[in-house]
């Protein structure tokens, strides 16, 4: 089964188009490095929880929207190789200079697939 990198980040609502544009430019690079699929989701119905929630996880402020995204790879090995390529590719490094959000509040992780129907 596929391997998935998942991400949650708070993006200022005013930066929606800048984020969409950055994501659209980055997706082909992820695919070049081995990704099968890149999905970016703009928060639409992200309620506040009583104990924890997406907004709290990334310390989203009232003017920010939670973005939930994932990148699918054929295996963890392909993901690991892709991450190595990304770290040294100047095209990816250029994104760091113009991220339309606070990357320090991003949460992320790699996941093995348990079910895919």
- Please tell me the distance from the alpha carbon of residue 67 to that of residue 28, in angstroms, as a whole number: 19
So what's the pLDDT on residue 100?
Answer: 93
pLDDT in tens, the chain (117 residues): 899 999 999 999 999 999 999 999 999 999 999 999 999 999 999 999 999 999 999 999 999 999 999 999 999 999 999 999 988 999 888 877 788 999 999 999 999 999 999
* β-sheet with 107-112: strand ranges across: 37-42, 64-73, 3-12, 107-112
So what's the pLDDT on residue 38?
Answer: 98
So what's the pLDDT on residue 98?
Answer: 83
| DSSP assignment string, 10-46 | EEEGGGHHHHHHHHHHHHHHHHHTT-SEEEEEE-SS-
- Please tell me the distance from the alpha carbon of residue 109 to that of residue 7, in angstroms, as a whole number: 7
């Amino acid at each position: 089964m596929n391997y998935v990198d998942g991400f949650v980040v708070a993006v200022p609502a005013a930066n929606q188009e800048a984020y969409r544009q950055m994501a659209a430019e980055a997706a082909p690079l992820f695919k070049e490095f081995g990704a099968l699929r890149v999905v970016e989701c703009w928060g639409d119905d992200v309620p506040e929880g009583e104990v924890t929630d997406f907004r709290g996880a990334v310390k989203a402020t009232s003017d920010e929207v939670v973005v939930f995204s994932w990148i699918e790879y054929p295996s963890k090995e392909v993901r690991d190789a892709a991450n190595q390529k990304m770290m040294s590719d100047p095209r990816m490094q250029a994104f760091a200079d113009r991220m339309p959000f606070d990357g320090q509040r991003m949460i992320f992780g790699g996941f093995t697939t348990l079910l895919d129907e």
